[in-house]
Amino acid sequence: MTTIGVLGLQGAFREHVRSVEATGAKALVVKKKEQLEDIDGLIIPGGESTTMRRLIDKYDFLEPIRQFGKQGKPLFGTCAGLILLASEIDGSYDVHLGLMDIKVRRNAFGRQRESFEADLDIKGIADGFNAVFIRAPYIEGVGEDTEVLATYDGHIVAAQQDHYLACSFHPELTDDHRLTSHFVEMVDQSKKSLAF
């Protein structure tokens, strides 16, 4: 059976577990790098990217997660997780995992709009998706191999590059599990192709 790991160092990981389980897949909270061997895909949740990075370093996760991605295993970054996946962060020399060819801006929707909800059309995945944004980043630019999946107010809020998926919002906080299901399908596909 396909097992989806959820990085459980900080942030909204329990909600992701609930969402993965709602799709019928198995979820595992990943707290030690050795557990990466027990999973087929990894979700990096929302929270606070700088805090999560500190914990990633403390538990020696940075290189093991990079290798996980480089082996072709799918990663899904939501909100702070998107920031961790990005190859460039506006206004900062910091890059965390640097796996996905996107440039992000943190806290990009401004103070007045700390959190809000919006109905999004996510290309090929969901129409009228109820997206919850909390101190959300957006994607300022993508590389040529990265597909834009959704925009809000003219800004990119979801994208996919091969086996990497990222969104600015929190898809785990509602009962709409279509984006999580899409990730589970990506993981199923990659599991099949990596088996050959």
Let me know if 167 is a catalytic residue. Answer: no
135 is in an annotated binding site: yes
For residue 7, state whether it binds ligand GLN (rule: CB under 6 A): no
Of residues 10 and 181, the one with the C-beta less far from ligand GLN: 10
Q: How far is CA 118 from CA 21, 31, 50, 166, in A?
A: 24, 32, 26, 17
Considering only residues 47, 69, 74, 77, which one is a binding residue for ligand GLN as defined by CB under 6 A?
A: 47
CA 196 to chain centre: 26
Torsion sign, CA atoms 89, 90, 93, 94: negative
Nearest CA-CA partner of 180 in 8, 31, 2: 2
For residue 106, state whether it binds ligand GLN (rule: CB under 6 A): yes
77 is in an annotated binding site: no
**Annotated catalytic residue within 15, 16, 79, 88:** 79
Considering only residues 39, 42, 80, 125, which one is a binding residue for ligand GLN as defined by CB under 6 A?
A: 80
For residue 46, state whether it binds ligand GLN (rule: CB under 6 A): yes
152's tokens: 């809000």
**Annotated catalytic residue within 15, 16, 172, 182:** 172
Let me know if 182 is a catalytic residue. Answer: no
Task: Look at residue 190 and give its three-state secondary structure.
Answer: helix
Q: Are 154 and 164 in contact (CB under 8 A)?
A: no
For residue 171, state whether it binds ligand GLN (rule: CB under 6 A): no
Binding segment for ligand GLN (CB under 6 A), chosen from 14-22, 27-35, 45-53, 183-191, is 45-53
47 is in an annotated binding site: yes
Let me know if 16 is a catalytic residue. Answer: no
- Which residues lie below 8 Å from residue 13, measured CB to CB, with a gap of 6+? 6, 7, 29, 43, 45
Q: Which residue numbers are catalytic?
A: 79, 170, 172
Residues of the shown chain interacting with ligand GLN in the complex, contacts defined by CB under 6 A:
46-49, 79-80, 83, 106-107, 134-135
